[in-house]
Structures are given as C-alpha cells and as structure tokens.
Amino acid sequence: YAQIIDDEKGVTLAAASTLEEGLKGLESKSNVAAAQEVGANIAERAREKGITEVVFDRNGYKYHGSVAALANAARDKGLVF
C-alpha cells in the first residue's frame, strides 16, 4: 500500500493498495508488478487532488525490488520526490 499524508494536519490525502477492487485480478499482490500498479494509482490520485510533490518515506525498507518499482511508477506518472 501507499499513502499520501499531510503530516501537519495528520490526515491521509490519498491512498492506494493491492486490496482494491481494480487490482484484484493481479496474479500476485506482493511482487514488482503489483507495486508498479500501486505506484501508478497513488500518483494518479495525487494528481486528481492537485498534489504534485511529496516526500517518499520508505520506512526503513531498502530501495530496491517492490519499493523501487512503486517509486519509479509514481515518478513515471508525474509525482515528484
């Protein structure tokens, strides 16, 4: 999953997850392809709300595999971080 959070207000502005209805057809929900879909979805939702720039917090996870795939897909869809 991915969330865009306003840290100052403590509210979630956008979210995307492999548990969503549109992504239920994925063969696996824990691989790079699933992460790419989540990254593309979160960027799309951010853009719909006028959000173009974020801070990417990987919460201690190494920047490779699914984490990198999610980030790269979000960047490809226009999210800046």
Question: Mutual orientation of helices 32-48 and 65-76 as an angle, nearest 10°?
Answer: 30
pTM of the model: 0.90
- Domains of the chain plus CATH, in order, are 2-76 (3.30.420.100)
- Report the distance separating Cα 21 and Cα 59, nearest Å: 26
Find out whether 9 and 46 touch, Cβ atoms under 8 Å: no
- Report the distance separating Cα 32 and Cα 77, nearest Å: 16
pLDDT tens across the length of the chain (81 residues): 999 999 999 999 999 999 988 776 777 888 999 999 999 999 999 999 999 999 999 999 999 999 999 999 999 999 999
